[in-house]
Amino acid sequence: WQKIAPRKASDPPLVFHWLPIIGSAIWYGNDPINFFQTCQERYGNVFTFILLGRKVTVALSPKGSNFVLGGKSIAFNAEGAYTHLTTPVFGKDVVYDCPNEVFMQQKKFVKFGLTTENFRAYVGMIEDEVDEYMKKDPSFRTYQDNDINEWGSFDAIRGMAEITILTASRTLQGPEVREGLNKTFSQLYTDLDGGFTPLNFLFANLPLESYRKRDRAQKKMSDFYVDIITRRKQNPDGDHHYDMIASLLEQKYRNGEKLRDHEIAHIMIALLMAGQHTSSATLAWAMLHLASRPDVADALYDEQVKRFGNPDGSLRPMSYEDLRQLPVLDSVIRETLRVHPPIHSIMRQVREDVPVPATLAAPSKDGIYVVPKDTFVLASPLISQVDARIWKDGAQWQPSRWNDADGVAAQALHAYTDEAGEKVDYGFGAVSKGTDSPYQPFGAGKHRCIGEQFAYLQIGTIIATVIRRLELRLPNPVPEHNYHTLILMPKDPKSIHYRRRKFD
């Protein structure tokens, strides 16, 4: 790590710490939310802390998110914050390992592949995969025995992680990847995923076996995808019209050149990794909450019966259009992402001195604060998403806040006066997608997520398919956050009890 520059009068307040280089790493690493909230009370919305030799300036509140996510990418740079983590996993020449202007074109290519036509095809495929999984996985034995009286149990994280990768590979990734999951692809994925940890975020390379495994797996996985691409080029009429490889093969950069095979391969790896933990963590949290709130699970089931019920008690299959008109299902996903957004810290590298607006942090006696060049900035939308000044009972998981018949989101989001004394009114139920929104589970601005619609489709279809088949119960309280993974996961115990429904 670089030498920490001496403190200047214009630097934001520095979080007190005893250990010079380690700084606040242990507190931040063990419980970033408690760390941010405590520092917010002590220092205001903008403060700097030391993270293993790096200076990181945190900007909280919707205005803080706006400062970081709406900032110019020349000044606040994503590549500089992430490339050492992502390039060894995704591979060369994509995402943060290419000029930003090229990555922005790659993002657009992916968007082109996420069409309504493809989404229509995906719903049935996802339902099928969930069904097959529940028919085969040993945790669902009592379901398989058709036993409606006996309770069984499954692990929320393992179950949802497996269902997520099965459904993503069946749909976005394509048939060859789905088939590979039964063979060597699973192990490659596990090894590559071992390179996506907080340790890898802090140290790009260490002489450890997990780093060597990551590098070997990246090479093999890249070859695996290049091989698929080569075979598809030789036989363009195979059974893979709805997946992302098919779409990427059609795309051209602005200079007229097509994507090179290894670029398509590496974009596919990036999409696999970007969607896997985020979606499976959201699913695990949603299932845990539904199991602990049978009233909400019942409302979800009733919604299914009302919309898809046949006279004999069976339910007809869902379509993509149906999925978009299920307010209870929508509110369950929305609320889960509010309380448990998978990404709690969004970072950027600071490439030039950036003054902090006085409306975000009141100037000190020495004038306005300046975030210095060669440090990092961090936004944590999670803090605004549970802020009790913005959300009634902000820490509570309460999906009805999004579509309450009488209160209409009066409970969700209401007008409030922010720290600079400005009146902010988001209106009922309306949540802006802007960089200053208090609800940003998918980020905002230039680097905003492009997987949101796919994630809603995947998560929604999986939840609905499970709820159609099972009643859920949670024997323990909903677990706390585990912050030792890059993505917010539930701590143990996370076992969910289930019983087969009668009319399945």
Query: From the annotation, which residues make up the binding site for heme?
Result: 449
139 or 200, CB closer to ligand HEM? 200
Residue 399 binds to ligand HEM (criterion: CB under 6 A): no
Q: Which of residues 261-300 bind ligand HEM (CB under 6 A)?
A: 271, 274-275, 278-279, 282
Pure H helices in 235-293: 244-248, 261-292
Site for ligand HEM in 52-81 (CB under 6 A): 78
Q: Which is closer to ligand HEM, CB of 217 or CB of 377?
A: 377
**442 interacts with ligand HEM by CB under 6 A:** yes
What letter represents residue 196's amino acid?
Answer: F
CA–CA separation, 213 and 215 (whole Å) = 5
Cα angle value 329/440/43 (rounded, 5°): 135
CB of 302 to ligand HEM, least distance (A): 25
Residues across the chain: 504
Cβ 207 to ligand HEM shortest distance, Å? 29
> 470 in helix, strand or coil?
strand
Q: What is the largest CA-CA distance in the chain?
A: 75
Which CB atom, from 264 or from 315, has the smaller least distance to ligand HEM? 264
ω into residue 493 within 30 of 0, thus cis? yes
CA distances for 437 relative to 63, 64, 415, 483, angstroms: 8, 10, 13, 24
What is the Cα–Cα distance from 197 to 210, expressed in whole angstroms?
Answer: 10
Closer of 288 and 315 to ligand HEM (Cβ)? 288
Q: Is the separation of the CB atoms in 279 and 166 below 8 Å?
A: no
94 makes contact with ligand HEM (CB under 6 A): no
53 exposed, middle or buried (CB, 10 Å; 0-12, 13-18, 19+)?
Answer: middle
Of all residues in the shown chain, the one whose CB is closest to ligand HEM is 451
Query: Cβ of residue 131: shortest distance to ligand HEM, in angstroms?
Result: 21
| Paired strand residues for 481 | 490
Shortest spacing between CB 449 and ligand HEM, in angstroms: 3
CB of 96 to ligand HEM, least distance (A): 7
Strand 376-379 relative to strand 54-59, pairing:
parallel
For ligand HEM, which is the closer residue by CB, 47 or 442? 442
H helix or E strand, kind and range, residue 19: none
The size of the interface with ligand HEM (CB under 6 A), counted in residues, is 21
Tokens of 62: 């919707």
Segment interacting with ligand HEM, rule: CB under 6 A, options 28-36, 57-65, 390-398, 440-448 = 440-448
Q: For ligand HEM, which is the closer residue by CB, 66 or 278?
A: 278
Piece in contact with ligand HEM (CB under 6 A), picked from 36-44, 422-430, 437-445, 466-474:
437-445
Which stretch in 84-92, 285-293, 354-362, 439-447 sits in contact with ligand HEM by CB under 6 A? Answer: 439-447
Residue number with CB closer to ligand HEM (44 or 341): 341
Closest approach of ligand HEM to the CB of residue 385, in Å: 12
CA-nearest of 17, 88, 9 to 52 is 17
Shortest Å, Cβ 276 to ligand HEM: 8
Interface residue with ligand HEM, options 447, 468, 481, 494 (CB under 6 A): 447
Contacts of 62 (CB under 8 A, 6+ apart): 384, 390, 418, 424, 436, 437, 438
How far apart are CB 392 and ligand HEM at their closest, in Å?
Answer: 23
Contact with ligand HEM (CB under 6 A) among 152, 441, 460, 490: 441
3-state secondary structure of 176: helix
Residue with token string 């820490």? 395
Site for ligand HEM in 328-347 (CB under 6 A): 341-343, 346
Listed residue (320, 167, 165, 171) closest to 240, CA to CA: 171
Nearer to ligand HEM, 165 or 315 (CB): 165
C-alpha distance from residue 478 to each of 162, 284, 389 (Å): 21, 11, 24
CA distance 199 to 205: 9
Of 180 and 451, which CB lies nearer to ligand HEM in the complex structure? 451
Residue choice 443, 460, 479, 490 for contact with ligand HEM (CB under 6 A): 443
Q: Pick between residue 267 and residue 496 the one whose CB is nearest to ligand HEM.
A: 267
Using CA atoms in the order 274, 277, 282, 288, what is the torsion angle rounded to 10 degrees? 170
The Cα–Cα gap between 164 and 129 comes to: 10
**Minimum CB separation from ligand HEM for residue 164, in Å?**
9
For ligand HEM, the binding residues in 449-468 under the rule CB under 6 A are 449-451, 454-455
Numbered residues of the known binding site: 449
CB of 71 to ligand HEM, least distance (A): 11
Which residues are at the interface with ligand HEM (CB under 6 A)? 78, 107, 271, 274-275, 278-279, 282, 341-343, 346, 441-443, 447, 449-451, 454-455
